[in-house]
Structure 1
Amino acid sequence: MTTATRVGHIEPVQIHFDDLDAMGVVHNSRYVLLLERALSAFWTRHGWPFDPAGPHFADIFFVVREFSITYTTPIISPGPVAVHFWLDHIGRSSLVYGFRVLSEDHATVHAEGRRVQVKIDRTTLQPTPIGPGVREAASRLLGSPAA
């Protein structure tokens, strides 16, 4: 693991043929899904599955407030890549993720960005505090690769 990947988590994600656009590169909108797949796998493995019927679903009812991405090197074929993500900040009701989409060997940065999520109340749809369980689980992702 390089200095730039020592914080956070790296999740392998598969690029499928239907992720490619007409020019044969991964379509820009698919990078959002790559991050979603990585985050979903991580949180499910750590006991926080995105299951509306589950007992803890209200604890992880987050919406995306902001998403920004910079594309660096196109992905030109199906196959494995790695999504490196971390938390830059845990607020009262928000999580600020940083992320990079990397080649499978972590040598190439294909894209990088930031995503802000806000925990909301399922009934009022207003921001609500992140509970201690989620806060504790999220804290293992804290730290910036640039630090």
Structure 2
Amino acid sequence: MYAYWETVPTRWKDNDVYGHVNNAVHYSLMDTVINTWLIRTAGLDIHGGDAIGLCVESHCVYRASVAFPEALRIGLRIGRLGRSSVRYELGLFREDGETVVAEGHFVHVFVDRETRRPAEIPGPLREAMEKLLISG
């Protein structure tokens, strides 16, 4: 279902006054996993590359509560890969890998760093993305 996985710890400050991880943290965790994969695995040069990815859409559906000090297993896949855009899909699970905590997606549009006009996803980055692309 998901082709790339990371385990991410929650932090003390992630809990809100209701005693669970605040909803905004879920977005931060998803964004972190996506960008960690882009930089470490796909080779995105965030400081000097010609193309950069801008988030144009994000969404999260919450399924279960989680609280510090739990860690989350976060799965990443690509649901759609266009010429200049990509839809990342993520599942956030309890550390057991079975219980879904949340599901979400982010859409990046790649643009030229200088002009901010849409740009084709560079070849090596596209090749890495194709490995995470789900069929159907």
TM-score, normalised by the number of residues in structure 2: 0.90
SS of 1:11's equivalent? strand
Match of 1:58 among 50, 59, 73: 50
User: Would you say 1:39 and 2:31 are equivalent positions?
Assistant: no
Identity %, equivalent residues: 28
Match of 2:120 among 129, 132, 137: 129
**Can you list the C-alpha shifts for 1:81-140, whole angstroms capped at 9, x where unaligned?**
111110011100001111111111111101001211100111111111111111001111
Match of 1:17 in 2: 12
Match of 2:75 in 1: 84
Q: Following the alignment from structure 2 to structure 1, what is the Cα–Cα distance between the partners of residues 96 and 36?
A: 20
Match of 1:68 in 2: 59
Equivalent residue letter for 1:11: E
Equivalent residue letter for 1:58: D
Q: 1:49: how far off?
A: 5.1
Q: Following the alignment from structure 2 to structure 1, what is the Cα–Cα distance between the partners of residues 46 and 120?
A: 20
Pairs aligned (count)? 136
Match of 1:111 in 2: 102
Match of 1:97 in 2: 88
Question: What's the C-alpha RMSD, in Å, of the aligned pairs?
Answer: 1.7
CA contact (8 A) 2:34 2:88 kept: no
Q: 1:44: how far off?
A: 3.0
* Gaps in structure 2 of 5+ consecutive residues: none
TM-score, normalised by the number of residues in structure 1: 0.84
Q: Which has the higher strand share?
A: 2
